[in-house]
Amino acid sequence: MGRVLRNVFVGACVVLWLVPLWLMVVNAFTASTEYSGSPDWTFQGFAIFDNLSTAWDEARIGEGFGSSLLYAVVCAAAAVLVAAMASFAVVVLPIPRPAFWFWLIFSGTMFPLQMFLAPLFGMYADANLYDTRMGLMLVYVAWAIPFAFFLIRNQMTTMPPELTEAAMLDGASFRRIFWRIHVPLLAPGLGAAFIFQFTAVWNELLFGITLSRSPEVQPVMATLTALNNAYASTGPPVILAGTLIVSLPTLIVFLVFRGLFLRGLTVSAR
């Protein structure tokens, strides 16, 4: 009975996830001139390429696409590297009060992003970082570090301390121990953390629309809002087509690296 209820629950969750996805895909194929104003449940045409072209031109998604790819790859990689170093310091290095440092870094995940907007905006305006790629990259790296630190630190605590002790007896420095022992063994956790942060930075909107305004600087989610501003001239099918475009990178990353992602989650959850 328990298995049946579990399967029913899982099936219901799958349906709840697939229904809006189905509606998005179906209505993205509808021509804007033929859209009735209410969602269609079946395909009413094949205007997907026209809608994609309009979304690409109206919102200048191409520029935002390149910017988001830069932000997601570089910022996620930098955040994972810093988080790995911080995890090594908290777990392996003989620093005082490691629990305090853990909670201090991890507390970055506990506060809503909205509370940072006003001080960040003022600080960025004073430092000439507003509407610059460097400004967005700095905030994305800082935002991505705490959760990556949580995942990597959890995996690092499962590594036997005898590895570090044996390396130290052989005369290895902490730097060598980190790069030659811990980083290779942490590969699944590092990969999972990177995928998480890549997805988070790619899908981020709040900082993108608050700390930038130029199409060549704004991330793709912020440029996509231009379609909403031009709602009357483009129509929902074009907006949905643009949504399909910007959803592809995270889907591709997950499908290509799903094995590494699952191994990393399994190890980090121990």
pLDDT tens sequence across 54-90: 777 776 787 888 889 999 999 999 999 999 999 999 9
Q: Where are the alpha helices (DSSP H) in the chain?
A: 2-28, 48-58, 61-70, 76-91, 98-106, 114-126, 133-156, 161-169, 174-177, 183-185, 187-203, 206-210, 220-229, 231-234, 236-256, 258-268
- Chain centroid to Cα 213, Å, comes to 21
Residue 221 has what pLDDT? 87
Asked whether the CA dihedral 123, 129, 135, 138 is positive or negative, the reply is negative
CB 158 within 8 A of CB 270: yes
Return mean pLDDT, the chain: 82
CATH fold, domain 55-268, is MetI-like fold (1.10.3720)
State percent of the chain over pLDDT 70: 92
Residue 263 has what pLDDT? 62
Which band of pLDDT confidence, cut at 50, 70 and 90, is reported for residue 259?
Answer: low
Average the pLDDT over each of 40-54, 82-96, 223-237 and give the range with the smallest value: 223-237
| pTM, to two decimals | 0.83
The encoded tokens of residue 227 equal 């379609």
The encoded tokens of residue 113 equal 């992003």
Residue 137 has what pLDDT? 93
The encoded tokens of residue 13 equal 């969750």
Neighbours of 90 (CB within 10 A): 22
Cα–Cα nearest to 151, from 191, 121, 120, 180: 191
pLDDT, tens digit, 9 for 90 and up, residues 186-233:
888 888 889 889 999 999 888 988 888 888 888 988 888 777 664 446
Domain ranges of the chain: 1-46, 55-268
Half-sphere exposure of 144 (CA within 13 A, CB side): 33
